[in-house]
Structure 1
């Protein structure tokens, strides 16, 4: 019998001790958004990762870590938006976003979702904001199906790494049946 994801998340947060206590009060927001993203991963969808320019280091870290050779789990299909369309930074306007979105939909047969990490008002978030399935770690903005953080938080980078560690642990727990992301 697998555990409820919200309860599993709370237990995982508490196991980390004081360093992750900040997340305990946001655990429902975390659980709801992350469980939906995990369900999509388990359904075989590709993650298209988009980060704002200040978080390129995190994009690199996630892309390097999520399918690390030391992990004993199936590989996760994940790719950066920049490797799909190298000129993504110069995209502006809805028509160009539509063209890119159509190309991605054709390439991935609509079996994908966007994972956006960054400021809510960054134009790199525009394509992800158009899709209900998108997963967000968004700064300074409340948005549907988003986990919200503050860009001016002095320990934001540490929190992002902690969130990634928890996401990775959640991925393992759901893949190996310890927890049910749909509960």
Structure 2
């Protein structure tokens, strides 16, 4: 099996010049993806959370991750907005505690957050930041163990799609035993 770091670099380079921006950032990516792949392989459900400006991306991920043409096992994934439609009205710590309790009961603690969006005062990021094992693509904030992006980047939508493509390729390679993320 190939070393995961080298596999990731090769996958980035295979995308060509448009993704060269990510070569250096892969060092922030790799520990997060290892953690996410471990959780997926152990059967945990992904609870997808996006800020308001990235709701389109949430729909895209949910529509594409389990497409039949991928011919792979289905990945358990749910949008937090679908699980709790009143998410936008959540405005205090007690409400967040109650939401986390509901998720813990629903998934028996076998879930992890995947957050894509702004940090700072974004309430949705506050919910995810309470978790130690979240996959975070954080914008406009340098947060520990998060991939840092800039929401004001004129190519942010393209970059998100490129990152998702890399995530999806990694997931397929792990599921089919082509790579070991710990090698």
Where do 1:124-139 residues align within 5 Å? 124-139=124-139
Can you list the C-alpha shifts for 1:115-138, whole angstroms capped at 9, x where unaligned? Answer: 000001211111110001011000
Partner residue, 2:151: 151
- Structure 1's consecutive aligned runs of 4 or more residues displaced over 3 angstroms after TM superposition are none
Cα deviation for residue 41 of structure 1 reads 0.6
Using the size of structure 2 for normalisation, the TM-score is 0.97
Cα deviation for residue 182 of structure 1 reads 2.6
Cα deviation for residue 181 of structure 1 reads 1.8
Q: Distance in 2 between matches of 1:27 and 1:105?
A: 31
Partner residue, 1:181: 181
Which ranges in structure 2 are unaligned for 5 or more consecutive residues? none
Partner residue, 1:140: 140
Q: Name the Cα RMSD after superposition.
A: 0.8
Q: Distance in 2 between matches of 1:34 and 1:146?
A: 10
Alignment partner of 1:99 is 2:120:
no
Partner residue, 1:88: 87
Alpha-carbon contact 1:5-1:35 (below 8 Å) kept: no
Can you list the C-alpha shifts for 1:55-99, whole angstroms capped at 9, x where unaligned? Answer: 011000000000011111000000000111110111011110000
What SS class does the counterpart of residue 179 from structure 1 fall into?
coil
How many pairs does the alignment contain? 182
Partner residue, 1:73: 72
Q: Distance in 1 between matches of 2:178 and 2:106?
A: 33
